[in-house]
Chains A and B, each alone.
Chain A
């Protein structure tokens, strides 16, 4: 559908073009005031790490193993420290000031942050996550390609994105199309970046190129998850034989939950130093796939069966999230498939249920 004039002018108003060198300058300038994290090469992996030099950034990466959630909801987080006599001596202050830029997030990872925002702000506000979030600027990156495990189109969480970012970057030809998504994004772009002076016809041409690229990516995503009436489908198939079959496949290693950008469950532990008196209370990522996750005193375990744990993961993502936070818990990034040793695929789970759903008793 062609854009209306007003939409075009709005789009162009929020768009800039940066050359390769001005993009590098922009990132270098940002690094002076912020911690900048972006996808860089480390061994054979592309990982989100602190950027020392803009040249390190891998603009055409596929997907990272660990999602950028690690900068907002840390794998290990000090809640507070305590000392002899059981006195709490300090809250975790470091998070209050540290300003960070998360650069190069693909749309699925940006939308995953939106989901985590809901988790950590509903009913009780989680001060650790929310302070970090407030101090984080998100610079999204349009995907370069789609891969076999990508199914973001099933959840409308990519490759197109219309919210959740402060700035959106799309590398095109030799330049970067930069779109502003928030007043904060506009501010840092004006302050730290130098856009090429371009007329609107050139900007419009870059938008056309971007759109063409997105269409190619969208068309490449063939293996989707049919999400129509998904909660209802799952509600009716709690006892589907597939769950029992899956337990023979799944190794219950927890990799899927560690790499998932929306998995957030954690355990709280006290770490004491050698005096056994001082130490800190921490929270640590946990996983519903692990045996101990639902274990209480006297060895009672509410999900001893592996099938129950597999079901918990799938149901939490695709069913419970809607009840709990009015949003679906999956963004279709495909990490859980990619990093599963047995290549257990949620798309296939849903497809199999749809092929032979349990007959509903009337």
Chain B
């Protein structure tokens, strides 16, 4: 983008497909209406866009598609606020605004050659879905992959129809758990918080990079357990959530200590986070 471009101005995006994930969550596939903008739009797994519904507001949302997935990008959106509420009411063909991508994304170049442990909770799987397909496309660049995912109930699991495809990625395991299983629901996996799956991790801590996203309370316990298991704080990468209004390190809302989550993050190693002046966990 040219230097004269106003970074606060969203561009128009059009919904080309909607996938109902759960009762309150949808994945929407988008393209920029302006062809040139769409052509120029490139992103890395773990980056986010600011999505806009004029008159309602703007919110930061992770990109859930992988860069090589197609000539579109997708967001998996849980209806939790005004903007996400407004977007999830739209239909295929409708338009709204987006600007981005912002943030550093996952350190996928830095962790080349390593085994990968993915730990996700709830909607936190969205920015990691992008990683899963990225690894699939670049399978030789990474070692073994284990994906640990926890959701509230079986019905709250995102991307259920894609799980078989993930299991078929060579050298990849998918382990699932839910907080509780309502009566009459079929569930063949674990029950309990995501850290209960840690006993099943077969990766060697010294050869593994951990990519994690989920509620902060989940990440707190997960990081604690991983450290006890011998994973290094420099190898544990977390995607952090903070309030953001600009995405370009101007509004000041997203700071953790001296870090702007929108630009310095949203992905940080736990080593970086634990040494900040503002304590996370």
**Chain A interface (Cβ < 8 Å from any Cβ of B):** 79-80, 82, 86, 88, 91, 119-120, 122-128, 234-235, 238, 264-270, 272, 276-277, 279, 281, 283, 286, 288, 293-298, 300, 302, 308, 311-312, 315-316, 319-320, 322-324
Contact = CB atoms under 8 A, between A and B. Distances in A.
A271 to B, nearest CB: 9
Interface residues of B, number: 41
Interface stretch (B190-198, B226-234, B237-245): B237-245
Interface in B71-117: 80-81, 84, 95-97
B154 to A, nearest CB: 21
Interface in B191-219: 215-216
Contacts of A127: 6-8
Contact of B251 (A122, A266, A320): A266
A114 to B, nearest CB: 17
Contacts of A269: 57
B241 A320 contact: no
Interface of B is mostly: loop
Contact of B81 (A125, A264, A293, A297): A297
A120 B243 contact: no
12 contacts: A86-B95, A124-B7, A125-B7, A126-B248, A238-B277, A264-B252, A266-B245, A270-B58, A294-B242, A297-B81, A312-B278, A316-B252
B253 A294 contact: yes
B22 interface: no
A86 B242 CA distance: 27
A238 B279 contact: yes
A234 B258 CA distance: 12
A91 B8 CA distance: 10
Nearest to B249: A123
Given A86-B54, A238-B277, A296-B243, A120 B6 contact: no
B57 A123 contact: no
A294 B241 CA distance: 10
A276 B55 contact: yes
A315 B55 contact: no
A302 B242 contact: yes
B278 A295 contact: no
